[in-house]
């Protein structure tokens, strides 16, 4: 916490706005618009809620298709199932681990011949690094399909000088407890499309019509952010830049100390600047140590680390879904290789230098 969170929470208490509306909610939306560089924002109870509303806005319903990044957290694609639609998963490219333009083009060609054009494409900015939008957006545009940018992990990251969250027709952020800044739980949708934000705002407050009595013509949701949580968000947003700075130095320290080792950190594209949310390593292909060995080695010292997201096409839940690989069919896909060789290292902004040295040493003794 920065310290200012309590000030904003206190204001909410003093004015007695302990509700899913109030000054903090309005201000947090304004401050996010200004920071990201978008016209409109809607504060919600989660990032997942944001993706759900965006899908609904693009008319996704039963039997429809939605393309989505394969290497991601389930929050990206669970909302496709809420709408009884079919996810189609798109592999990563090796440069940024984000959606592969090659796999995306393959999926669109398939969709065209099979008459399964998607209603939307969800592109994730993984582990705080932007996808390659100059490659991806023209493909989506060619087929006339809107893009939902899942920037849940990428607040503060940039691509060619523009912030993540400006590339989707609608974009979402998450303020869940594990993200770079948190409201304890929450999310936000941002867009330059005023109509879209207006409609999603309506759905997020139980679709209550503008009448004196409670009038409802459409299904709605209880998805708004509370004024208390928004107060935390305002305090957190103030320290985002310094947090990115700290996380960058944590990443660079891992990167330097693992240099010339059978371990590599996530590649950083020169087209943008990540927010360094997590430092993620992969074990080089010809090396015999497994991710399980590294995780156990750290666990023995009570240090928590996790495997990279398990690709969605490998999940039981999505086993019936179509999937398009970056590679030819003889080769394993990129997302699977990253899952099998990747580990998210301790990356918290309170990680001490000595603690980081311990982690590095524990891994180095394995080879
Ligand atoms: C965290 C996350 C979400 C979901 O956000 P919540 O606020 O937890 O609902 C969606 N997509 C990605 C990539 C995430 O990391």
Does 222 lie in the same domain as 359?
no
Q: Domain count of the chain? A: 2
What atom in ligand 1 is closest to the CA of residue 124? 13
Q: Name the domain boundary from 183, 204, 237.
A: 237
Distance CA 333, CA 153 (A): 23
Distance separating alpha carbons of residues 10 and 294, to the nearest angstrom: 44
Judge if the beta carbon of residue 187 lies within 6 A of ligand 1.
yes
Final residue before a domain boundary, out of 237, 272, 302: 237
Tell me how far apart the alpha carbons of residues 29 and 32 are, in angstroms, rounded to a whole number.
5
- The answer on 187 and 257 residing in a single domain is no
Residue 59 DSSP label: T
What is the pLDDT tens value at each position of the chain, 367 positions in all? 888 999 999 999 999 999 889 999 999 999 999 999 999 999 999 999 999 999 999 999 999 999 999 999 999 999 999 999 999 999 999 999 999 999 999 999 999 999 999 999 999 999 999 999 999 999 999 999 999 999 999 999 999 999 999 999 999 999 999 999 999 999 999 999 999 999 999 999 999 999 999 999 999 999 999 999 999 999 999 999 999 999 999 999 999 999 888 999 999 999 999 999 999 999 988 788 899 999 999 999 999 999 999 999 999 999 999 999 999 988 999 999 999 999 999 999 999 999 999 999 999 998 7
Are 252 and 320 in a shared domain? yes
CB under 8 Å to 333, separation ≥6 — which residues? 70, 91, 92, 311, 313, 323, 325, 326, 327
Distant-in-sequence, close-in-space partners of 319: CB < 8 Å, separation ≥ 6:
none
Asked if residue 299 and residue 202 are part of one domain, the reply reads no
List the CATH number of the domain containing 261.
3.90.1150.10
> In terms of domains, do 161 and 275 share one?
no
Span from the CA of 135 to the centroid of ligand 1 (angstroms): 24
Q: Which domain holds residue 271?
A: 241-364
Direct distance between the N- and C-terminal alpha carbons of the chain, in angstroms, rounded to an integer = 38
Q: How many CB atoms lie within 10 A of CB 178?
A: 12
Same domain, 80 and 219: yes
Q: Which of 47, 173, 229, 309 has most ligand 1 atoms within 8 Å of CB, for mutation?
A: 47
User: Could you tell me the distance, in angstroms and rounded to a whole number, from the CA of residue 42 to the centre of ligand 1?
Assistant: 16
Mark whether 217 and 261 lie in a shared domain.
Answer: no
């Amino acid at each position: 916490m920065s310290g200012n969170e309590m000030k904003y929470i206190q204001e909410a208490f003093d004015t007695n706005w302990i509700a899913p509306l109030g000054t903090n909610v309005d201000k947090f939306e304004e401050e996010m618009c200004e920071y990201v560089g978008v016209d409109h924002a809607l504060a919600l109870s989660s990032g997942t809620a944001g993706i759900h509303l965006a899908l609904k806005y693009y008319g996704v319903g039963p039997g429809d298709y939605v393309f989505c990044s394969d290497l991601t957290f389930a929050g990206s694609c669970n909302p496709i199932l809420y709408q009884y639609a079919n996810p189609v998963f798109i592999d990563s490219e090796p440069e940024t681990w984000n959606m592969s333009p090659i796999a995306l083009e393959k999926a669109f060609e398939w969709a065209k011949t099979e008459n399964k054009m998607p209603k939307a494409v969800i592109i994730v900015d993984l582990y705080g690094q932007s996808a390659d939008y100059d490659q991806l957006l023209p493909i989506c545009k060619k087929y006339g399909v809107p893009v939902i940018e899942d920037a849940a992990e990428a607040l503060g990251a940039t691509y060619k000088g523009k912030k993540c969250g400006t590339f989707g027709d609608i974009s979402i952020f998450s303020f869940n407890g594990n993200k770079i800044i948190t409201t304890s739980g929450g999310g936000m949708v941002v867009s330059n499309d005023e109509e879209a934000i207006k409609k999603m705002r309506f759905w997020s407050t139980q679709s209550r019509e503008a009448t004196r009595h409670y009038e409802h013509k459409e299904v709605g949701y209880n998805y708004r952010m509370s004024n208390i949580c928004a107060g935390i968000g305002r305090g957190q947003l103030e320290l985002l830049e310094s947090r990115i700075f700290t996380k960058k130095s944590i990443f660079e320290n891992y990167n330097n100390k693992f240099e010339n080792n059978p371990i590599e950190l996530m590649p950083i594209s020169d087209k943008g600047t990540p927010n360094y949310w997590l430092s993620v390593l992969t074990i080089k292909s010809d090396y015999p140590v497994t991710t399980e060995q590294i995780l156990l080695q750290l666990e023995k010292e009570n240090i928590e680390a996790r495997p990279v997201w398990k690709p969605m096409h490998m999940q039981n839940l999505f086993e019936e879904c179509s999937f398009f690989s970056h590679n030819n069919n003889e080769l394993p896909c990129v997302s699977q290789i990253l899952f099998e060789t990747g580990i998210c290292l301790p990356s918290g902004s309170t990680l001490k230098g000595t603690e980081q040295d311990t982690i590095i040493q524990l891994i180095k003794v394995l080879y």
